[in-house]
């Protein structure tokens, strides 16, 4: 492990840096009876790679989500077909608007791998029911902890939301990764709150 001393560190112009906060919870806190708004449904689904990437991009573009966009089709398909991955798609009048992805691949632990909604439906009462569903599903089996992480590139309300949902922060890290707008994964105008550097 690299030990960093206090101070500023240059990040190359073609990279983006974020502070990642890791959180966990040992039992469900939110009520699994929270209803979704009228016309909104949540269903466990198996999406094909194209449908998954379309939804992943629609949700993650404002925050420069890129991990699943860089995977080859066979690698992504292996994740989506993995019985230890539980994918829930939230739909409004049939159109996909949000997702919950739970990863049970580590015994005794569930990771809330992805949790998000398209920007146009934020503030419409989806977060609470989605979190209630995630916690209820995560702790149905022999699971001692549910983990999640968020970063400073995510919606600025995300960390507070997780804390209110009962998660406790356990560690921090700095992540540096190639700016996905520079290699065409996203349009250069995407996420203007995170400036592209020349």
pLDDT digits (tens, 9 = 90+) for 138-189: 999 899 999 999 999 999 999 999 999 999 999 999 999 999 999 999 999 9
DSSP SS3 for 113: strand
Helix (H) or strand (E) holding 160: helix 158-164
pLDDT of residue 31: 60
Non-local CB neighbours of 89 within 8 Å, separated by 6+ positions: 42, 43, 45, 47, 55, 96, 98, 99
Euclidean distance between CA atoms 64 and 43, whole angstroms? 26
For each of the domains in the chain, give its residue range(s) and CATH number, in order of start.
15-178 (3.40.630.30)
Q: Exposed, middle or buried: residue 175 (CB in 10 Å: 0-12, 13-18, 19+)?
A: middle
DSSP SS3 for 198: coil
Query: 67-70: which pairs have CB atoms within 8 A and are 24 or more residues apart?
Result: 69/180, 69/185, 70/180, 70/185
CB of 181 closer than 8 Å to CB of 190: yes
How many CB atoms within 10 Å of residue 143?
19
Beta bridge partners of 149: 22
CB of 151 closer than 8 Å to CB of 20: yes
Full pLDDT tens readout for the chain, 198 residues: 667 788 999 999 999 999 999 999 999 987 656 789 999 999 999 999 999 999 999 999 999 999 999 999 999 999 999 999 999 999 999 999 999 999 999 999 999 999 999 999 998 999 999 999 999 999 998 999 999 999 999 999 999 999 999 999 999 999 999 999 999 999 999 999 999 998
């Amino acid at each position: 492990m690299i030990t960093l001393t206090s101070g500023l560190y240059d990040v190359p112009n073609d990279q983006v840096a974020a502070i990642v906060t890791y959180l966990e919870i040992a039992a469900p806190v939110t009520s699994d009876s929270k209803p979704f708004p009228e016309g909104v449904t949540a269903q466990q689904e198996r999406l094909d790679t194209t449908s998954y990437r379309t939804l992943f991009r629609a949700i993650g573009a404002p925050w420069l989500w890129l991990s699943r966009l860089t995977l080859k089709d066979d690698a992504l398909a292996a994740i989506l077909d993995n019985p230890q991955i539980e994918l829930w798609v939230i739909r409004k009048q049939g159109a996909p608007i949000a997702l919950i992805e739970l990863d049970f691949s580590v015994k005794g632990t569930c990771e809330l791998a992805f949790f998000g909604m398209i920007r146009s439906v934020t503030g419409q009462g989806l977060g609470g029911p989605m979190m209630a569903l995630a916690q209820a599903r995560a702790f149905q089996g022999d699971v001692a902890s549910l983990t999640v992480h968020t970063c400073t590139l995510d919606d600025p309300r995300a960390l507070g939301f997780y804390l209110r949902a009962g998660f406790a922060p356990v560690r921090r890290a700095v992540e540096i990764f190639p700016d996905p707008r520079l290699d065409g994964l996203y349009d250069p105008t995407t996420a203007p709150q995170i400036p592209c550097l020349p």
